[in-house]
Structure 1
Amino acid sequence: MFPFTRKRKIQTEAIKADMGADDVKLPSRLEEKIDLLKPCLAKNDDIVGRPFYLKGDPGLKAYVVHLEGIVDNISLQQDILRSLMFYARGEDCKEKGLEYIVDHIYRNCLTVTQIQKIGNFSEVIRAVFDGFVVLFFDGISAALSIDIRKVDRRNVEEPVLERALRGSKEGFVENIVVNTALIRRRLKDPNLVVKKFTVGKRTRTDVSLLYVEDIADPEIVRNVSEKLDNIYMDGILGTSYLEQLIEDHHYTPFPQFKTTERPDKAVMELLEGKIIVLADGSPDALIIPSLFVSFLQASEDYVERPIISFYHRFYRYLAFFLAVSLPALYIALLSFNPELVPVQLLISLAQGRDKVPFPVVLEVIIQEIIIQLVIETGLRLPTPMGQTVGVVAGIVLGQAAIAAGLASPAIIIIVAITTISTFAIPNSTMVLASRLVRVFMILMAAAFGMFGFSIGWFLLLVHLISLESMGVPYMAPYAPMRYPDFKDAVYRTFISQMLKRPVSIPVQDKVRKRREDG
């Protein structure tokens, strides 16, 4: 017998739940098989069925069924139907039985590679709705499932959210096969393992788990695999669904897994001992586990000189602090502790607020609401219009608010600096987290002044230290302290000196660079 491609892992209970029917064996007579399919054929006009005969006198009756628009019609006609109708001998197949027909068709008739044998009705239905071509033969209580799905995809383009001045300009697309190939092309290591899952009872989304076998920690690989196996939902439409289902801490604004649109970034993470999760239909990849420091790092940090990378990273940390703290600090200083502000600056701020009828807290909240509405509007509108609305709204509303005495010039500057700092953070999910944390800090400062501001940061740090990403401390290498990893935290040392992988991530092979033997 020919070596069938490995069957997908199908659990009997899951099949019954998906199909709502018993897992019945296929009958041998072709008419009975078609009768089983009639309910699906009657209510789905895009399921195409076609009877035909294998070559011979008399020919062996056969039947092909597939979904319209998903299957490659040219391949179906030339590689399957033409081959079976002109080159497969029905007389021999009838005489020698099932084992011969399967082996004969595979070796001598069909030119496609991905073929598997199925014997249950539920497997047939799954194969049809997964986009496979299913072949039935009269007198044989089995069917052949053939993968000739037509791949329609957009071209590989530069990532939208992770643009880089230097380095690769390729980004992931919505096709999981293409995304896996983009990683394989860069990481030609036979130890790169790709494990496939099918997640979602109705969407049956293809999910791939990638890791380097001799680097990644087996316990983390096993943990992620179990979490993916234990997902029972109707639909999974991307990596964002997977992220929410497998994360350890649900009640936190901070992302526990980093996402990337860049294949080169994904390969870098694989070489660090991390795991990559791809989902069909998503142009990004999940990086597991992820640390807080990684959300403030960018791909170009590793193509620039170390001193330039340190310069950029320092401003990203500063941007995170300002994005979270600046409005709260403004409230605390002006409303509760004005003695901490230099006299000349305090006089200037007081003169600017002379005609403003609102207290500082309400003024900040009003401006925060306005800027959030402007941001949301810019995101929802088409790109050219969104940019125009954002600029016009910012300038017009700011000038109008100052002229009408509804806001002081200082608060306009504070909100502008805060917004700019927010978008200086290189990760979009961390941007959203910083907005939410900023509201918490504003409320703490509004209630208790500088004491509340300090308590707010204390609670924030305690919360970050308590988080884990798939069992790995989220705030490493700062808490717990991992001194060797400081060489790639705020600052980055020379690549030639990064001889070992980070100790914050459990790995099997700790050595990054070694001389070849001999």
Structure 2
Amino acid sequence: MRIKNSFFKKKNSNHTPAPHETENFSLQLFTSVQENIENIQRMYGNPSDLVIRKLKIADISCCIIYIDGLVDSDLINSKIIKNIQFHQNTIDSTQPNTLLKDLTLKLLSVGEIKKVDTLDDVSLPVLSGDSALFVDGVKDALIISSKGSDGRSVEEPQSESVIRGPREGFVENIRTNTALVRKHFRDPNVRVKSYKLGKRSKKDVAIMYIDGIVHPDIVEEVERRLKDVDLDDIPETGFIEEFIQDSIMSPFPQLQHTERPDRVSAAIVEGRVAIFLDGTPFVLLAPSVFMNFLQSPEDYYERWAIGSLIRGLRYLGAFISVFAPALYIALVSFHQGMIPSKLAFSIASTREGVPFPAIIEAFLMAITMELLREAGARLPKAIGQTVGIVGGLVIGEAAVSAGIVSPIMVIVIAITAIATFALPSYSFGVSLRMLRFAFMIAAASFGFYGIVLAYIAVNIHLVNLRSFGVPYTVPFAPSFYGDWKDLVVRSPHTVMKRRPTYLMPRDTIRKKGKG
């Protein structure tokens, strides 16, 4: 069975551009340096961090403007101002137009210089950390690349523990992040396309993919949805994720986010698209399906048997985190006859004196565990770990001693919490924690029948869910048996010779040979 192109069917093909997409008006620059400065000051509100440095070159007035704190001050002082002051005698230009050309070719020792002629073309680069140079008598300005490099250095990812593999994590600079991926995957077919999102913030957004591997419809759909994002500001990729996902009401994440360059490079070589946003270390991967959230880069760095065992434990952990409390509630409340006699007597003795039914017990302990987890995440790391461990032990012991909950319930909730920690994706783990409460209510209402009905409802939702047109449950349904080599069991690399079929890559072979 092959995936048809309808998997990548476009939604809302009659796209109406947002108002900010159709605005083309921009004030032309003047030949007078002073008029241009006054317009820029008026546009910015004459801020205190706007630096205006006036110069004279061959009796022609010039001016450099930039925002203090956004630029590399050393570069401006040594490569621009110093060069102009000390080496201007090397040029013979007395006409403003030829002077602008000589500045570009002879005096400015920077990597990137661009000529612009409108106020908007000056404003946005200056607010991004570049400098603008005006020459009196010329209607053009030079935009000089001078962005500052201050920021967090590349270090180990904070949200994804690295057991084996590169200990590099993305930072808040979009160019550093794309460079980290290029360093991992040096293919000339890697494509990076940049956009501006946010009507007011004008944040830099980039998509990265490998031309010749990714299906063109996926790239087109990603670009179309990004253009539909209409916000004043986009501080984090979570805003983009909510706008471009297929189903906003689904509890399941439809895009994967990561801080790891090796995960991104592995994704794009399969035929997926990475979405970068300036100002955040989290990168989105599209499309993302159910199985992606149970995979980790370490699965491929270890030998296949170890990787398969660890991945199988994750699937088991996902099952336990959703079903364990519900199964306990159903057995204790409705199906006592299914419990072995000795275990049933043991459970009955521990529940003696407990004033609440099993569902109330489970809700009390589950909510307490969620509160402890959230408190531990918000507190400083050293204190948070202590609160999470000590708080759970103390509250659990106190609750059992007070006769509020039974010891077996504390064990069930503890195992459930541990199983949740085995999941490599935080957002996917939260989704399963939400479903846990729904299954607990179903179990308390109808026992095993309620659990089965809830399970059927979740599966109906999953098989109808899409991620950029790709069915969320592939390769389970629709079934692509070739992709099962990298599903619950991670087959040896020598066997996995083809890229995932469900992505419909243009180049299907990742390793020569039949497979």
Q: Which residue of 2 aligns with 1:8?
A: none
Q: How does 1:19-38 map to 2 (within 5 A)?
A: 23-38=26-41
What TM-score comes out, normalization by structure 1 length?
0.92
Q: Which residue of 2 aligns with 1:71?
A: 71
Cα distance change on mapping 1:271 and 1:15 into 2, 3 Å? closer
For residues 335-368 of structure 1, what are the alpha-carbon distances to aligned partners after superposition, in whole Å with 9 as ceiling and x for unaligned?
1222222222112111111111111111111111
* Distance in 2 separating the partners of 1:505 and 1:41: 47
For residues 127-175 of structure 1, what are the alpha-carbon distances to aligned partners after superposition, in whole Å with 9 as ceiling and x for unaligned?
2212211111111112111111111122222222322332222221222
Equivalent in 348, 359, 366 of residue 368 of structure 1: 366
Determine if the alignment matches structure 1 residue 228 to structure 2 residue 226: yes
Cα distance change on mapping 1:41 and 1:424 into 2, 3 Å? closer
Question: Any idea what SS the aligned residue of 1:286 has?
Answer: strand
Question: Any idea what SS the aligned residue of 1:465 has?
Answer: helix
| Contact 1:356 1:406 survives alignment (8 Å) | yes
Q: Which residue of 2 aligns with 1:472?
A: 470
| Contact 1:15 1:122 survives alignment (8 Å) | no
| Contact 2:91 2:102 survives alignment (8 Å) | no
* Distance in 2 separating the partners of 1:139 and 1:92: 17
Question: Any idea what SS the aligned residue of 2:114 has?
Answer: strand
* Distance in 1 separating the partners of 2:474 and 2:511: 23
Equivalent in 341, 346, 350 of residue 352 of structure 1: 350
* Distance in 1 separating the partners of 2:37 and 2:67: 15
Give the CA deviation at 1:41.
6.0
Q: Which residue of 1 aligns with 2:411?
A: 413
| Contact 1:239 1:279 survives alignment (8 Å) | yes
Which letter maps to 1:413?
A: I
Equivalent in 275, 280, 283 of residue 282 of structure 1: 280
Determine if the alignment matches structure 1 residue 133 to structure 2 residue 131: yes
Determine if the alignment matches structure 1 residue 271 to structure 2 residue 277: no
Q: Which residue of 1 aligns with 2:4?
A: none
Equivalent in 102, 120, 123 of residue 121 of structure 2: 123
Give the CA deviation at 1:216.
0.6
For residues 346-396 of structure 1, what are the alpha-carbon distances to aligned partners after superposition, in whole Å with 9 as ceiling and x for unaligned?
121111111111111111111111111111111111111111111111111
Question: Any idea what SS the aligned residue of 1:496 has?
Answer: coil
Question: Any idea what SS the aligned residue of 1:495 has?
Answer: coil
| Contact 1:380 1:386 survives alignment (8 Å) | yes
* Distance in 1 separating the partners of 2:45 and 2:225: 38
Q: Which residue of 2 aligns with 1:105?
A: 103
For residues 214-267 of structure 1, what are the alpha-carbon distances to aligned partners after superposition, in whole Å with 9 as ceiling and x for unaligned?
101111011111222232211111222221111111111111111222211211
* Distance in 1 separating the partners of 2:66 and 2:417: 52
| Contact 2:321 2:417 survives alignment (8 Å) | yes
* Distance in 2 separating the partners of 1:28 and 1:494: 67
Question: Any idea what SS the aligned residue of 1:169 has?
Answer: coil
* Distance in 2 separating the partners of 1:90 and 1:166: 56
Cα distance change on mapping 1:15 and 1:90 into 2, 3 Å? farther
Cα distance change on mapping 1:12 and 1:418 into 2, 3 Å? closer
* Distance in 1 separating the partners of 2:410 and 2:305: 34
Cα distance change on mapping 1:150 and 1:353 into 2, 3 Å? same
| Contact 1:16 1:23 survives alignment (8 Å) | no
| Contact 2:87 2:107 survives alignment (8 Å) | yes
Name which of structure 1's ranges 396-405 and 274-283 shifts more when overlaid on structure 2. 274-283
Q: Which has the higher contact order (CA 8 A, sep 6+)?
A: 2
Structure 2: give runs of 5+ residues left out of the alignment: 1-16
Q: Which residue of 2 aligns with 1:3?
A: none
* Distance in 2 separating the partners of 1:12 and 1:163: 40
* Distance in 2 separating the partners of 1:88 and 1:342: 94
Q: Which residue of 1 aligns with 2:145?
A: 147
Q: Which residue of 1 aligns with 2:328?
A: 330
Question: Any idea what SS the aligned residue of 2:447 has?
Answer: helix
Give the CA deviation at 1:15.
8.2
Q: Which residue of 2 aligns with 1:501?
A: 499
Q: Which residue of 2 aligns with 1:392?
A: 390
Which letter maps to 1:60?
A: I
| Contact 1:15 1:23 survives alignment (8 Å) | no
Which letter maps to 2:51?
A: V
| Contact 2:130 2:147 survives alignment (8 Å) | yes
Name which of structure 1's ranges 336-345 and 485-494 shifts more when overlaid on structure 2. 336-345
For residues 103-124 of structure 1, what are the alpha-carbon distances to aligned partners after superposition, in whole Å with 9 as ceiling and x for unaligned?
2211111111211122112222
| Contact 1:60 1:91 survives alignment (8 Å) | no
Give the CA deviation at 1:30.
1.9
Q: How does 1:114-263 map to 2 (within 5 A)?
A: 114-263=112-261
Give the CA deviation at 1:13.
5.9
* Distance in 2 separating the partners of 1:245 and 1:269: 22
Equivalent in 1, 4, 20 of residue 14 of structure 1: 20
Q: Which residue of 2 aligns with 1:5?
A: none
Which letter maps to 1:492?
A: R
* Distance in 2 separating the partners of 1:466 and 1:180: 34
Which letter maps to 1:69?
A: G
| Contact 1:46 1:68 survives alignment (8 Å) | yes
Q: Which residue of 2 aligns with 1:422?
A: 420
* Distance in 2 separating the partners of 1:301 and 1:492: 7
Percent identity (aligned): 37
| Contact 1:296 1:427 survives alignment (8 Å) | yes
Which letter maps to 1:53?
A: K
Give the CA deviation at 1:182.
1.2
Give the CA deviation at 1:483.
0.4
* Distance in 1 separating the partners of 2:412 and 2:186: 50
Cα distance change on mapping 1:278 and 1:406 into 2, 3 Å? same
For residues 382-420 of structure 1, what are the alpha-carbon distances to aligned partners after superposition, in whole Å with 9 as ceiling and x for unaligned?
111111111111111111111111000011001001100
Question: Any idea what SS the aligned residue of 2:455 has?
Answer: helix
Q: Which residue of 2 aligns with 1:438?
A: 436
Cα distance change on mapping 1:482 and 1:12 into 2, 3 Å? closer
Give the CA deviation at 1:42.
5.1
* Distance in 1 separating the partners of 2:443 and 2:377: 30
